[in-house]
Amino acid sequence: MKKFKYKYYDAQSIPQFGTLEAEDYATAYAALLYQGYTIVSLTPERLSLKKFLADLILRMQLGGRWSSVFFRELGVMLGSMTLNGALELLQNTASNTASEKILRDLTNAVKGGEKFSDALKCHEAIFSSDVVQSIEIGETGGRLQEVTQSLAAQLERSYTTSRKVRGAMYYPLVVFCAAIIAAVIMINVTLPIFESFYTSNGGELPLITSVLLHGGRFLTEHLILIAAAFSLTILTALMIYREVEDVKFFADKLKLNVKILREIELRNLFCRLSFLLESGIILDEAVKMCASSSENLFMQQILNDAKILIEKGETLEKVLRNSLNKISPLYLGLLATGESTGEIVEMLRQCESMADFEIAETLRELPAKAEVYGTLAAGIIVAALVFSIMLPIFNMSAINF
């Protein structure tokens, strides 16, 4: 879902301002017209650098585990107390300022009569759209405790997966950093000795030695400027990824070619779809809701197209078969079986379990692969350093000979 800022005139011709969420510009415009507003302007809401950094800092402060713990504790408390009481208790036991502020906002909003799902929308940096959707369904169907427990399990699983991926990267990162530190020391200490010796004897340094030497000097002399430029480049790239739809669409499409990212996306889809269907939502609307909650633009397009095709009588299995080239035939077989027998929810859960297994297997192999590539990168750096030192020695030997 996208956010739009709008300005309109009410019945008394007084200008009013606000924001709303919609799938696209046309849907947002139609929604405002339906309410009888005289629209003056309607523009997509852009994420400012200040808000982007604030959201990033907030996520770093709370970490990926906080929201799963929050829903786990809330689910347990809802078994014996009201939502108001549970939120107040969680607020009083908050472990840091950031979490206390969020819990205070949620408590005050619910006390004031606001829906819990609407209160969560004000903290979109922490609570994603699929979380808000789930809570809204739970509130509507009187299953809030069940939904919070289900969300806790889902968020815990996502957090565990991301933590394992980061853990697999530690060893190659340490090896790579050690090689970089060794390179910096040798470039700034060892290579200048060869330069002074060659210069005094009228010789010329080999190309690789000269490149490393002058490159090292440049990096040393402009280290602060380079670090600032690198940081600014990373921030700019992240902003472009988040704000330029074509760039994000292309990047998201590439993500689905990576096995573990594709399996995670499919696992989330199967989990979300089974939950929605079990809640009584029909298939085409459930697919549409899955599209709006997905953060992958390419998957959003696939699911939005799937919704239209399902309305025309196509099966979910056939739509996914034609849209995702690398989807496992096992998933397709289970989906086809579920749709033909009416056991689609159970088959989606089986697909979710299979996706979990594929992710676990990939994570099991990931550390070994990361070590190989990390060691290879470090080896290339060390080899370049060895050649830069040995070539001058060989050249000197040849001159003396």
**How deeply is 323 buried, as exposed, middle or buried, from its count of CB atoms within 10 A (0-12, 13-18, 19+)?**
middle
Give CA angle at 335 (329, 341), nearest 5°: 135
Report the CATH number of the 168-401 domain.
1.20.81.30
pLDDT at 401: 47
Place 351 in a pLDDT band, splitting at 50, 70 and 90: very high
- pTM score, whole prediction: 0.72
Q: Measured on CA atoms in the order 37, 42, 47, 51, is the torsion positive or negative?
A: negative
CA distance 120 to 143: 17
The predicted-structure confidence for 112-144, as pLDDT tens digits, reads as follows 888 888 888 888 778 888 888 888 888 888 888
Among 152, 161, 149, residue whose Cα is nearest residue 66 = 152
Domain boundaries, the chain: 2-45, 51-127, 168-401
* CA gap 72, 59 in Å, rounded: 19
pLDDT digits 0-9 by tens, 366-399: 888 877 887 787 778 777 777 777 776 666 655 5
d(CA 335, CA 321): 10
Structure confidence at residue 270 (pLDDT)? 92
Q: Is 24 left (phi over 0), alpha (psi -120 to 50) or beta?
A: beta
Rounded to whole angstroms, the Cα distance separating 318 from 309 reads: 10
pLDDT in tens, 84-103: 888 888 888 877 788 888 88
The 10s digit of each residue's pLDDT in 220-261 is 777 788 888 888 888 888 777 777 778 888 888 888 888 888
Distance CA 12, CA 8 (A): 11
Calpha distance 77→84 (Å, rounded) = 11
pLDDT in tens, 277-329: 888 889 888 888 888 888 888 888 888 888 889 888 888 888 888 888 788 88
